[in-house]
A and B are shown apart, each in its own frame.
Chain A
């Protein structure tokens, strides 16, 4: 009997446990079951008493209905029933019909653990849309069709609600973005404006966005959120979706050396802090790039190579303008330190960017500025080249870095920078010296020659004396002075004779000596005799006598 009681107890426990294991129910329903076209209903799938995992099979395709993904209304509870862990799962799916009609949704397969179940079929009645809320809203995403990698562009998200309706958000904004980054929606930056569409007046809220292209390819952007639109006591929840496509292009080939990803339209200018400095004392070169594009992300322009400037990485700051993202200017401050003195040119500045409007690379170039660089200050020496007072005594050996002062007392001026040996005066001077030396030499040689040959000297003296006397006699003849003519004529004839016979004393020479030495015609001989007899010829014949005398004397002194 005891044994039978034990078996009965075991059977009773088993009977209680079996219902708990077998009580898995799967149900489906619609909330609400009647909607207007364009509105959303929830397809709710409930699984109770599941002890294993719940898997929902594929939804059947129903023409005219759109099933969305599992909504946020899905929930799952766990409880312990009769010592077993039991799950109650409620899954909600959005279902939307755009056209009026009656839609039968067939059963859906649900697997609980290893067991397969089917839900019940449900029917959704879609009524015509409420004319009150027809075209009540609009939601649009306005983006550029194409962008280049790295390009920043402006975009707009526009929410439009017909005037006279009230609205509020019914869900968070959900966005699906790939290949690009988009700035967050900021209510503070939204602007409101009135627009007219289809004859209706709307109030449109415009949210500015900034899109940065990241990856090449064609990408979709989707913004979704629910709004509740109300007019009086009537209201409707609407799901708003804004979609757009954007094509991101890679950069074309032929990238310039100075290109560092700048895209847009830019201009460049630069300023230099000073045009005078000293070796080792840097100057600040400020380069300003302004325009439209990815201004905030601009990399520093490229400085040209320079052996005379030491450059340092620049500091930079961004001054926004317009929307604060794609407009503005970026300033780069370079420190340039001269390594030597002189009139130096700062390095060239180059900035390359890609202009998407013309799809070309462009390079802006700014030539260097001229900077006067003085020598470096030397320890213990003045820091300026020109601080020496004029007239100060400076020992260049003591300090070669100090300049000597100017001279306050002048010196004589002249054409000193033309070499003297190129001047004509130098040639003339040398010619004169040469002539002088030659003259002295010639004169001395002549002297020596005369010293060595006395007869030559006597002849020379006699010749000169004879010629001198002849000229005087001729003058006397022209002056019709017979006495003077006779005196000079005799002297001339005697000296001329001495030229022929130097050994003879000229004072003792007679007419006979002459006529013996020089054969003369009778008329000429008569003239000689007349001269030596001291007979005064008539004045009229003086000229004829003078002519004869000239002929005789020149004949006698002629060199053999």
Chain B
């Protein structure tokens, strides 16, 4: 982790860290207990315990998103062999806390288990965005932008530009531009959807009896281009275009607060 990143995390995450309380959600604890038992069990017993853990985590997630809940849920789903949903929840955990290396590692493992490369192809803006969560990029853009604007607009009205004001304005502007790229990167990330089931057919046309272009492994990332009835025209992470049934993929990000 680079020094700027550490500083940025300290500056922008400190309030959150101070405010964060250990989760006392009973479903979280029950999910963890079921998962731990599942590790020691085998066969159908293990599958049942993983299933219990998944239920508890999902119930806890109804009360709010948390990277820990999504991450643990991804682990439980991986234990069940549900690599598509597992990748979806790892991606969500990563969206909330992209600095946690364990999430990226388990996501890569789930993708490899599903028969995919460990990482989805990403542009430089998406890579840049991963340095901070979106909400922190938004905060940086807000604070940096208004500081820069204020320090550009207000000094002439008072005592004129001072070196300090100019320096702070430059820093603010720099942070604002950097945050804009981060937000743009996350915006690109937010368009991805994850294929949930293995062998999802990528069809040539939005018809039930259309020919398959290829079969998509679970956890494949797809970018929706347009919709037609219950079909979505997508570009896959490998560059193929085709139609999939809309319900076969789920977006990592949400359009609005579902709670």
CB within 8 Å of B: which residues of A? Answer: 276, 307-308, 340-345, 372-375, 385-390, 394, 396, 400-423, 426, 429-430, 433, 437, 440-441, 444-445, 448
With contact pairs A385-B78, A386-B78, A396-B101 given, residues A414 and B32 touching in the complex (Cβ less than 8 Å)? no
With contact pairs A386-B39, A390-B39, A406-B71 given, residues A414 and B65 touching in the complex (Cβ less than 8 Å)? yes
Known pairs A342-B83, A418-B254, A437-B153; list 7 more (Cβ under 8 Å). Answer: A307-B215, A343-B81, A343-B218, A344-B198, A386-B39, A437-B149, A448-B157
CB distance from B222 to the nearest CB of A (A): 17
Kindly state whether residue B226 has any CB partner on chain A within 8 Å: no
With contact pairs A390-B35, A448-B157 given, residues A410 and B23 touching in the complex (Cβ less than 8 Å)? yes
29 contacts between A and B (CB under 8 A): A340-B115, A342-B114, A343-B83, A375-B109, A375-B113, A385-B78, A386-B46, A386-B75, A396-B104, A401-B112, A406-B71, A406-B72, A407-B72, A410-B68, A410-B69, A412-B16, A412-B19, A413-B23, A416-B67, A417-B65, A417-B95, A418-B254, A418-B255, A418-B257, A419-B134, A419-B253, A437-B153, A444-B157, A444-B158
CB distance from A157 to the nearest CB of B (A): 55
A345 touches B183 (CB 8 A): no
The interface residues of chain B lying within 8 Å CB-to-CB of A421 are 138, 183
A386 vs B74: C-alpha distance when bound (angstroms): 12
The interface residues of chain B lying within 8 Å CB-to-CB of A276 are 43, 81
The interface residues of chain B lying within 8 Å CB-to-CB of A441 are 153-154, 157
A342 touches B109 (CB 8 A): no
Closest to A407 in B: B68
A342 touches B68 (CB 8 A): no
A483 vs B259: C-alpha distance when bound (angstroms): 66
A402 vs B102: C-alpha distance when bound (angstroms): 10
CB distance from B258 to the nearest CB of A (A): 8
CB distance from A390 to the nearest CB of B (A): 5
Task: Type the 1/0 row for B56-91, where 1 means its CB is closer than 8 Å to any CB of A.
Answer: 000000011111110110011011111100000000
B79 touches A418 (CB 8 A): no
CB distance from A506 to the nearest CB of B (A): 32
Closest to A437 in B: B150
Closest to B82 in A: A343
B96 touches A417 (CB 8 A): yes
The interface residues of chain B lying within 8 Å CB-to-CB of A419 are 134, 138, 183, 186-187, 190, 253
The interface residues of chain A lying within 8 Å CB-to-CB of B19 are 412
Candidates B66, B83, B95, B142; contact of A412 at CB < 8 Å: B66
With contact pairs A342-B198, A343-B81 given, residues A406 and B35 touching in the complex (Cβ less than 8 Å)? yes
The interface residues of chain A lying within 8 Å CB-to-CB of B79 are 385-386
Closest to A430 in B: B142
Closest to B63 in A: A413
With contact pairs A400-B118, A406-B35, A418-B254 given, residues A342 and B81 touching in the complex (Cβ less than 8 Å)? yes
With contact pairs A444-B157, A445-B157 given, residues A429 and B142 touching in the complex (Cβ less than 8 Å)? yes
The interface residues of chain A lying within 8 Å CB-to-CB of B101 are 396
Kindly state whether residue B5 has any CB partner on chain A within 8 Å: no
A385 vs B142: C-alpha distance when bound (angstroms): 43
B253 touches A418 (CB 8 A): yes
Kindly state whether residue B244 has any CB partner on chain A within 8 Å: no
Kindly state whether residue B99 has any CB partner on chain A within 8 Å: no
A440 touches B154 (CB 8 A): yes
A485 vs B114: C-alpha distance when bound (angstroms): 91
CB distance from A518 to the nearest CB of B (A): 38
The interface residues of chain A lying within 8 Å CB-to-CB of B187 are 419
Kindly state whether residue B246 has any CB partner on chain A within 8 Å: no
The interface residues of chain B lying within 8 Å CB-to-CB of A433 are 142, 146
A408 vs B28: C-alpha distance when bound (angstroms): 9
A208 vs B142: C-alpha distance when bound (angstroms): 95
